[in-house]
Amino acid sequence: MVPARVNSLALSFQEALTAILRVRFQRQQVQDSESFRTQMRRALQAAMQESRAMGYSSETVQMGVFAAVAYLDESVLNLQNPVFADWARRPLQEELFGGHMAGETFFLNLRNLLGQQDSAEVADALELYCLCLLMGYRGRYAFGDTGELHLLLRQAREKIQRVRGQMQMIPPSPVPEVKPPRAKDSWSRGLLITTCILAVLTLLAFGGFELALSSGISQIQTSSLVAR
């Protein structure tokens, strides 16, 4: 049994996931699509650098970036906001990965991870993919079989538990310190929101992924409102 890392792959992506989550649930109003795109590229670059510094392989880091980008593109496009009209013409997945098949590739990556030999790194990558699903990502299953999603999440949970032991998903302690924000510092507030979200998802993991799949979105929305 390998304990979860205190600073895991998922926590490396917390800044990017916070920004996506705030836009997805309209806790942040974007005035300029290109500025937001630049912000997201920087957040993803920071996540890549931090993940590599922690010793993750290039393949795992790229899979992490892909998961976040897939979640970002779906979140932005589902808003149908005129501000993001140019995003539909060129989603970030096209810019960074040269394609438009994230809804399929996300789940190919997930199944690939499920098929790999058990290891701490594979468990950490699975954790990030599961978080994207728990925060609302659906990809190819947006209008399809949620039963298969239940199955994938259950398989991921079982694999993570084999590596880390029973009922460990998000590292239970400590999460990175969040300093009190300066006035109107929305980015620091975003990090606080992510901390709350990760805490909620930890509790959801203890209760089981099947329940989390159906209730995750409403739980996250509630957490975001409380953290405002």
Residue 109: pLDDT band with limits 50, 70, 90: very high
Position 183 pLDDT exceeds 50:
no
DSSP label of 111? H
First to last CA, the chain: 38
77-90 pLDDT tens trace: 999 999 999 999 99
- Whether 15 and 120 map to the same domain: the answer is yes
- Whether 73 and 158 map to the same domain: the answer is yes
How many Å apart are CA 37 and CA 31, to the nearest integer?
A: 11
In a domain, 83, yes or no: yes
Bigger pLDDT: 145 vs 150: 150
In a domain, 176, yes or no: no
- In the numeric block, which tokens belong to residue 212? 């989390």
| Torsion on CA atoms 37, 169, 11, 134, rounded to nearest 10 | 20
Domains identified in the chain, total number? 2
- Whether 104 and 206 map to the same domain: the answer is no
- Whether 159 and 193 map to the same domain: the answer is no
- Whether 33 and 72 map to the same domain: the answer is yes
Question: How crowded is residue 52: how many other Cβ atoms within 10 Å of its Cβ?
Answer: 14
At 147 the pLDDT is 85
Q: Which domain holds residue 69?
A: 9-164
Q: How many residues does the chain have?
A: 228
- Whether 18 and 115 map to the same domain: the answer is yes
Question: Hey, is 194 helix, strand or coil?
Answer: helix
Kindly report the average pLDDT of the chain as a whole number.
Answer: 79
Position 194 pLDDT exceeds 80:
no
- Whether 118 and 196 map to the same domain: the answer is no
| Torsion on CA atoms 22, 104, 208, 3, rounded to nearest 10 | -90
In a domain, 45, yes or no: yes
At 127 the pLDDT is 96
- Whether 24 and 130 map to the same domain: the answer is yes
Place of tokens 């490396």: 12
- Whether 157 and 210 map to the same domain: the answer is no
- CATH number of the domain residue 38 falls in: 1.25.40.590
DSSP sequence for 75-102: HHHHHT-GGGHHHHHS-HHHHHHS-S-H
In a domain, 180, yes or no: no
Across the range 209-224, mean pLDDT stands at 43
Q: Could you list the beta-strand ranges (E) of the chain.
A: none
At 144 the pLDDT is 74
Please report how many Cα atoms fall inside a 13 Å half-sphere around the Cα of residue 182, on the Cβ side: 1
Question: How crowded is residue 147: how many other Cβ atoms within 10 Å of its Cβ?
Answer: 9
Position 227 pLDDT exceeds 60:
no
- Whether 201 and 88 map to the same domain: the answer is no
- Whether 109 and 217 map to the same domain: the answer is no
44-76 pLDDT tens trace: 999 999 999 999 999 999 999 999 999 999 999
- Whether 199 and 111 map to the same domain: the answer is no
Of 164, 198, 215, the residue at which a domain comes to its end is 164
In a domain, 152, yes or no: yes
How many Å apart are CA 138 and CA 74, to the nearest integer?
A: 8
At 6 the pLDDT is 53
Of 149, 164, 179, the residue at which a domain comes to its end is 164
Question: How crowded is residue 116: how many other Cβ atoms within 10 Å of its Cβ?
Answer: 12
Question: How crowded is residue 200: how many other Cβ atoms within 10 Å of its Cβ?
Answer: 20
In a domain, 39, yes or no: yes
At 165 the pLDDT is 84
In a domain, 105, yes or no: yes
In a domain, 206, yes or no: yes
